[in-house]
Chain A
Amino acid sequence: MNPRLRWRKFVSNFMLTLTGVCAGVAVSVLFFILGYLVFHGGASINWDFFTKLPAPVGELGGGMANAIVGSAKLLLLASLFGVPIGFFGGIYLSEFSNSSIAFVVRYAADLLNGVPSIVIGIFAYALVVLPFKHFSTLAGAFALGLMMIPITLRSTEEFLHGVPRALREASMALGASKWKTIMSVVVPAAYRGIMTAILLALARVAGEAAPLLFTAFGNRYWSHGLSEPTASLPAMIYSYAISPYEDWHRQAWAAGLVLLALILIVNIFARAILSRGSAIPRS
């Protein structure tokens, strides 16, 4: 084996090991955070936590039942609002549009993505809360949905683009209309990436408290329907974590853990239910 080849092999092994190290670092950070949350909040997770309403300071037996339900409602509604816009918008960009319209839409999505979450909250306040003079779950879902749009849009377009042209052409050759091609062939081929992006967008907004401050507001009691203020896990975490009370701190960590568990479950659920496999074999 000549020296040059030996060097190249060495570089190859070295760099690939390095990438393993990078992955290890990223994963260990996550496990560290999880471990911290479990350690500090684990003790507060009991049946009460999931079934009771918040209790004032110093009283035991409080829980975050309304915040858990509230977060679930908010995330569901936000997805119903943000995902279709991002998904169908992405389809347009990838399948129908010309490059100048696509450029403008992509740019706009990137700009929207960079807006601080509190500014989104202020915007949603002016648009949805002020005219109706009250806070609501809908307003909160609107704010969160806005934040989901850019990731969904960009990623849908990206992954649809990655589907080889041959697949599209084969479908057309068999007589399918463009729309049928898109929905039955192209989207399923790109499903993995799109699903990943949607779940990522969901994860992002699940932990945001700032946009909810001026929209969903918060509620110490149960919220009925969709037009009342509602509690949510991130908002509770925020107000408990910065309070002076050790008991509330532990509940905040516990809530953080529950939030992560919620997202994990949604991830598993979504992938299992919507699993159709990928049309492109993984290499």
Chain B
Amino acid sequence: MAISTTTVPSASPSAGSRSFISRLLNGDEIARIITFLFAASVVLITLLLVLQLWHDSSLARHKFGFQFFITRVWDPNAEQFGALPFIYGTLVTAAVSLLLAVPLGLGAAIFLAELAPQKISDTLQFFIDLLAAVPSVIYGLLGLFIVVPIMREVIQPFLKSSLGFLPFFQGPAYGIGFLTAGIVLAIMVIPYIISVSREVLLSVPRDQREAALALGSTRWESTWRVVVPFAKTGIMGSIFLALARALGETMAVTMVIGNAPKISASLLSPGYSIAAVIADQFTEATGDVYLQALVELGLVLFLITFILNGLARLLMVLTTQKGSGMGHT
């Protein structure tokens, strides 16, 4: 039996070494088709979701049109709905959470993958994975009862006194707000970054490290300049995971963000996010326009995710050199 080539799968029967039918009977072709169906179903499901959101928000879209993106008012009684404060809050909290979680998570992953003895690394990883299983309502309550007082008594006053000249740290210190929400989100997304990054770092071939060390680099240099870039796409993947979680988190955010549809440069100010307002108001919303406006917000979040993902991928393409481990977006 001829060995089928794997480099360039060809579609036309004449190009390959066997006829289409006999290739079909070969397990490989079936495998390809079946796995393709699975992969395609993911796209199908996502499309279906978008269609559902599009359909369920039709009233609101026709009523508000483009204004929806730039209106600041959210008034269920007057049926005036605008998405701007929520878009702002979503972006700000996601940004804060990533700024905190990525360095921390990456650092921890490096430690666990490179430095810690295997047993300890595995055990600690086990436990860090548990953090991902903590229900978000518990994160929310812990945030409200533990993080918020610390923020109000210690951290926010400290930030105001030392960096208060910046517009980011002005206004009364309630304890809740964008910064607090960002911190709670950071705690929630760290397990994803650590877990996936650690696995990726572990799978970098030994020769890469050894080559660097053989050339005289220090431990840190070999890690930072050779291993991490080799694992870059995997690490970026973990950041995508974290970003997605941060954008879509509802319960924990709504308990500590202050739930005020405001736009303010100060991180100490209360705000609101798309996922939080949907979770807050969906179950009690009555009236078609109201419900559909909330669904439209879901659509807007989809759009934001779409754009952010696109930008991040662009960034990766621009900064990936040839020869690094896995060069795909």
Q: Do chains A and B touch in the complex (CB under 8 A)?
A: yes
Interface residues of A (CB under 8 A from B): 8-9, 11-13, 15-16, 18-23, 25-27, 29-31, 33-34, 36-37, 84-86, 88-93, 95-97, 99, 101-119, 122-123, 126-127, 146, 149-151, 153-155, 158-159, 161-162, 164, 168, 172, 175, 177-180, 182, 190, 192-193, 196-197, 199-200, 202-204, 206-210, 213, 233-234, 237-238, 241-242, 253, 256, 259-260, 263-264, 267, 280-283
Evaluate contact between A26 and B130: CB separation under 8 angstroms: no
B249 (CB) vs chain A CBs: closest residue: A116
Q: Jot down 19 A-B pairs with beta carbons below 8 A, ordered by A.
A: A12-B221, A89-B41, A90-B39, A92-B32, A92-B35, A96-B32, A111-B46, A111-B305, A112-B49, A113-B244, A114-B248, A116-B248, A122-B282, A122-B298, A175-B3, A197-B196, A206-B133, A282-B118, A283-B205
Q: Is B64 engaged at the interface, CB distance under 8 Å to the other chain?
A: no
A260 surroundings in chain B (CB, below 8 A): 130, 133-134
Contact of A123 among B26, B49, B133, B325 (CB under 8 A): B49
Q: Is B247 engaged at the interface, CB distance under 8 Å to the other chain?
A: yes
A-B pairs with CB below 8 Å: how many?
323
Leading 6 A-B pairs by shortest Cβ distance? A283-B206, A22-B107, A207-B135, A92-B35, A12-B220, A12-B218
The interface residues of chain A, by DSSP majority, are classed as helix
Q: Is B174 engaged at the interface, CB distance under 8 Å to the other chain?
A: no
6 additional contacts (CB under 8 A) given A23-B194, A116-B301, A158-B196? A101-B39, A150-B241, A177-B27, A192-B199, A196-B195, A213-B283
Contact of A11 among B108, B138, B218 (CB under 8 A): B218
B106 surroundings in chain A (CB, below 8 A): 22
Q: Is B265 engaged at the interface, CB distance under 8 Å to the other chain?
A: no
A242 surroundings in chain B (CB, below 8 A): 137
In the assembly, what is the distance between CA of A149 and CA of B237, in Å? 14
Evaluate contact between B134 and A119: CB separation under 8 angstroms: no
When each residue 120-151 of chain B gets 1 if its CB lies under 8 Å from chain A and 0 otherwise, what string results?
Answer: 00001111111111111110011000100000
B186 (CB) vs chain A CBs: closest residue: A29
Evaluate contact between B240 and A154: CB separation under 8 angstroms: yes
Q: Is B42 engaged at the interface, CB distance under 8 Å to the other chain?
A: yes
If A114-B243, A200-B192, A238-B137 touch, does A27 touch B325 (CB 8 Å cutoff)?
no
Contact of A159 among B35, B128, B199 (CB under 8 A): B199
The interface residues of chain B, by DSSP majority, are classed as helix
Evaluate contact between B105 and A196: CB separation under 8 angstroms: no
A104 surroundings in chain B (CB, below 8 A): 43
Evaluate contact between A117 and B112: CB separation under 8 angstroms: no
Q: Is B52 engaged at the interface, CB distance under 8 Å to the other chain?
A: yes
Evaluate contact between B234 and A158: CB separation under 8 angstroms: yes
Evaluate contact between A123 and B52: CB separation under 8 angstroms: yes
A16 surroundings in chain B (CB, below 8 A): 111, 114-115, 219-220, 223
Evaluate contact between B329 and A162: CB separation under 8 angstroms: no
In the assembly, what is the distance between CA of A253 and CA of B55, in Å? 40
In the assembly, what is the distance between CA of A158 and CA of B31, in Å? 19
A179 surroundings in chain B (CB, below 8 A): 27-28, 31
B125 (CB) vs chain A CBs: closest residue: A196
